[in-house]
Amino acid sequence: MGLVVRLASLDDVRAVTEVHCSDVKKWRKRIGNEWVKASYEELSVGERFEHGGPWMSVETCAVHLNYVLVSGQYPLVAELEGKVVGELEFYVGEEPGVLGKTGFIDVLVVHRDYRRRGVGRALVEKAREIAKAQGCDTLSVWPEEIAVPFYEKCGLRDVAYRVAYVVLDTERQPQHHHEYRVSEFPRSYEEIRDLALVSPRFFSSIAAWLKSRWAFALEGYRETVLEGALREVDAVFALETMWKGEDECRVLLWLRDTERLGEVLAWLCSEAWRRRVKRLHLALEQSLLPLLESFGLVFRKEKEYVVLYEKL
């Protein structure tokens, strides 16, 4: 049969879980304040989730895969001699800026026993084929640093965004005295497609929006502290708690005019502080950092990333 790449189905859940779990070298669980070695069978669904997300157990992988499929997106699996040995997930959507309509590669994992056999390349090539068929302008990815050479060899060599991961302490920010009227968070991606995704900029806009709508019934899973739209400044936002961190939130933010970034973030910090959220986490283009500084916002930059793409 050789190597075959196809669209995944719910029948592939167990095999996809096996592929992702092969990437974990050591399973562990938290007892008190310490991590101790444990077997996979000893872990709860939530503890498995902590090792790498919803793919780590069939229960959550089925929910996640169902979300991707019913959203009209593309989970792909690679089969070698009839065995699933790799998985790739990508999202197709339009947005302003350099990416345009893009096929965004969000996940790519090859079973550790089947690496260096062309499985990853075959998955990327299938994603490229589908992206072209869907009329995409670009194929894009946010790669781990170690994976950058792989994607460059696959043709994704241009830098779309240089991204800075920053943290703002809410109580240290300038006070924002204007009270915006918060309206409902958009129910359709079409309502925000023409807005620029500010954070998290290492995702495509459609991937960020879709994932913000998905949830898992797990203790410690993220909760939405505040979300909505600010019509006065044409902004859409959500503040979501970090994994098992009630006083820290990640920021999802779309803006029509990025020049308004400073005032919107100052307002978000003020609203977060009222709700006893101590820190806000953002991933935004490094070119936007001067807008934070000019508004007097205090932040610390913790990491840097790149988003790569190729024109189709």
CATH number of residue 183's parent domain: 3.40.630
Q: What is the pLDDT of residue 244?
A: 67
Domain count, the chain: 2
Single residue among 156, 179, 200 that ends a domain in this structure: 156
Expressed in angstroms, the distance from the first to the final Cα of the chain is 30
Question: Is residue 276, in this structure, part of any structural domain at all?
Answer: yes
Q: What is the pLDDT of residue 291?
A: 95
18 in the same domain as 151: yes
Question: Is residue 190, in this structure, part of any structural domain at all?
Answer: yes
204 in the same domain as 137: no
221 in the same domain as 148: no
178 in the same domain as 259: yes
Single residue among 156, 173, 206 that ends a domain in this structure: 156
284 in the same domain as 140: no
146 in the same domain as 231: no
Q: What is the pLDDT of residue 177?
A: 64
d(CA 273, CA 217): 27
115 in the same domain as 21: yes
103 in the same domain as 79: yes
148 in the same domain as 35: yes
CB under 8 Å, gap of 24 or more: what pairs does 273-278 form? 273/170, 273/171, 273/173, 275/225, 275/226, 276/247, 277/170, 277/225, 277/239, 277/247, 277/248, 277/249, 278/169, 278/170, 278/171, 278/247, 278/248
Stated length of the chain:
312
192 in the same domain as 83: no
Q: Is 208 exposed, middle or buried (0-12, 13-18, 19+ CB in 10 A)?
A: buried
CATH of the domain at 83: 3.40.630.30
Single residue among 156, 176, 201 that ends a domain in this structure: 156
251 in the same domain as 137: no
Q: Residue written as tokens 């070698």? A: 80
Domain that holds residue 71: 3-156
140 in the same domain as 28: yes
Q: What is the pLDDT of residue 1?
A: 64
* pLDDT means over runs of 10, the chain (312 residues): 93 98 93 88 94 96 98 97 96 96 98 95 98 98 96 97 97 79 95 97 97 91 93 96 84 97 94 94 97 93 97 98
